[in-house]
Structure formats: structure tokens, C-alpha cells
Amino acid sequence: MSEAFEPKNIIVTGGCGFIGSNFVHHVVREHPEVHVTVLDKLTYAGNPENIAGLPEDRVELVVGDICDAELLDRLVPGHDAIVHYAAESHNDNSIADPEPFVQTNVVGTFRLLEACRKYDVRYHHVSTDEVYGDLALDDPARFTEETPYRPSSPYSSSKASSDMLVRAWTRTYGLRATISNCSNNYGPYQHVEKFIPRQITNIIDGIRPKLYGDGKNVRDWIHTEDHSSAVWTILTKGRVGETYLIGADGEKDNITVLRAILKAMGKPEDDFDWVRDRPGHDRRYAIDSTKLRRELGWEPRHTDFESGLEATIAWYREHEDWWRPAKAATEAKYAKQGQ
């Protein structure tokens, strides 16, 4: 293994979003010697409350756009790494309006890569398993780092494009970069438009949850805390130019997840409504994270999905003031889409 990289000043883009803010909390808690600059545009999915209460001498919030080259010229010098979480990430939104996805996920990544090249800053790119398309429900295969790209939505194709840019900048310009592709995250601070928090908050509100299609779509769930520890491991120990898949062997179909939520919240397991499927809805994602575990020694800690789910439900019950402001607008948007 190459010598460990020990960053002291990092920029976390999208650090007020769900997965990014959990990473900021992880770094503050586990790596007291590191200062974090959060760069976030504060779109609907970015919430400064997600990092409220963290020590101000260790976490600084800069409100701005990753597409703003002049801002990056001011901000990047003096930092030794950028961890890039900022992304438009909701599939339904990408189908309704793909343009922000191309702008943020492709152009934004290009701007960050150029800034890293200019100021010789290490770069870690957080991506998704959706770039690989989907697997058949009866296929024993799982995604590996060698799986060909086959994105199917505007969202996943924009993420695939950004991954390709990172690889090109590494090969052409010698950029010190790593990439991770992760499966579906769950945990605190996740926006109520996403599957698990939407179901939890609907049940809290006495609304019957809705399930797409036949409910057999499989996702590979990982607790966001495990994602955070994996990203830190890759940033500090990963080999430049390499891609690592992050997963915790958490394959579950949507109907199983919904029934587990209903059961944990004291409801009958069939207390939900079916709705028509999303266009081009991927059937199954599944990650083989052998390379990450074998090469870098990472292991997930939150491997009991039921207890992770119960902790997540408890968080949403206790933080109604956090999700309540976004709930009505989210449900109104879904109603318009017939979902």
C-alpha cells in the first residue's frame, strides 16, 4: 500500500446535503486535526441546519456554486484535498428537468478538476452505482470496478459523464484523484423526497405510503456512516487513479424495506398504496466491495439493517422541526407527478 495521505485542510462540496453533511460530522468526530471548508450552493437539498452546532473553528461554510471558477480560484488555494459530494441526485427530478443535472454534475465537476489541476490539490470524487445501469432480479452478479457503464436516467448518465472526466484528468494531466461509487444510503439528514424518509414521514403524518410498480426493485442499502468511513479510507489510503466500490451487502427489495418501516412504526405491513412505476426504473443494484475491503482494509459497522432503520426512524421522530418545512412542497410536487 502506498504511503497514507494525511490531509489537514479539506473542501467538502455539497457538505450541507444528506451524504455530504454526514461526512462532515464523521470527519469532525473522528479526525480532530482536520479543518473542513463546506462549499454548498444551498439548493432545496442543501440545508445549513445539517451542520449546525459543529465547532466553528473547524468547520467553515462558504455559500457558492461549484460552477463558479472565480470563486474556486479564491477558495481552493491553501487546501490539500477536495471531496466532491455536490450533485443533483434525485432521479424523478432528472426525468422532469435534466438541465440542472448536466450543469451541476458535469460542468461543476469539470470546474473542480480544473481548480485541482491548477493548485495541485488531491481530489476524491463521490459517485453512484447507478452509472452501471441495473441487474436482472435473478442475476447472481454484482457490480465490480470492471462492470461496463450503462446509465439509464439523465441523473445516472450525468454522473457517468463526471466519472469519465475524472479519469481523463488523471491520465492526461496527472491529477491525483480517486473515485468511489456507492449504493443507496440511508440515515439522518436525508431529504424527505427520498424513499426511506418519505415513507417514515408519511406514516408519522398518518398518510398511507406509496410504492412504485411491483415493489420488487432491489437496492443495496448502506448506512451513511459506513459510506463516510469508506470515503475517508479511500481519500487517505486509496491509490491515485483507482476506483473503489462502496457497499455493505445490504440488498433488499423496496417492498421488504417498506414493510420493515411499517412494522417498526407499529403499522400493518400491507398498509400502503401501489402507484404506477417510474419510467425506466432500474430493477436491481448490487455492489461487490471486495477491492475496498481487501486493498484498504475497510469494513462496514452498521450491518444490521433493522436496527439501522429503527435508529433512522427515531431520528425523524425527534427532528420533526428539521424535515417539516420541506414536507408539504415535496408532497405537492409528487401529487403533480401522480405519485
**Phi and psi at residue 276, in whole multiples of 5°?**
-60, 150
The catalytic residue among 155, 186, 189, 285 is 155
Assess whether 129 carries a catalytic annotation: yes
| pLDDT tens digit sequence for 315-328 | 999 999 999 998 88
The CB-side HSE value for 296 (13 A sphere, CA atoms) comes to 28
Residue 117 has pLDDT above 90, yes or no: yes
C-alpha cell, 137: 432480479
The catalytic residue among 40, 65, 88, 130 is 130
Checking 55-62 for CB contacts under 8 A at 24+ apart, the result is 55/28, 58/28, 58/32, 58/34, 59/24, 59/28, 59/35, 60/35, 60/36, 61/15, 61/16, 62/37, 62/38
Task: Give the Cα separation of 77 and 294 in Å (integer).
Answer: 34
| pLDDT tens digit sequence for 119-129 | 999 999 999 99
Q: Which domains does the chain show, CATH number per domain? A: 9-186+224-249+282-302 (3.40.50.720)
| pLDDT tens digit sequence for 60-72 | 999 999 999 999 9
- Name residues whose C-beta falls within 8 Å of residue 85's C-beta, 6 or more positions apart in sequence: 12, 13, 14, 15, 17, 19, 20, 23, 126
What confidence score (pLDDT) does residue 332 get? 85
Residue 243, helix vs strand vs coil: strand
What confidence score (pLDDT) does residue 101 get? 95
What confidence score (pLDDT) does residue 203 get? 97
CA-to-CA dists, residue 62 to 26, 40, 47, 245, 326, angstroms: 19, 7, 13, 30, 22
Assess whether 226 carries a catalytic annotation: no
What confidence score (pLDDT) does residue 91 get? 77
212, 218, 222, 224 alpha-carbon torsion, rounded to 10°: -20
The catalytic residue among 129, 225, 251, 282 is 129
pTM equals: 0.94
Tell me which of 61-70, 158-167, 231-240, 269-278 is least confident: 269-278
Q: How confident is the model at residue 2 (pLDDT cuts 50, 70, 90)?
A: low
Assess whether 155 carries a catalytic annotation: yes
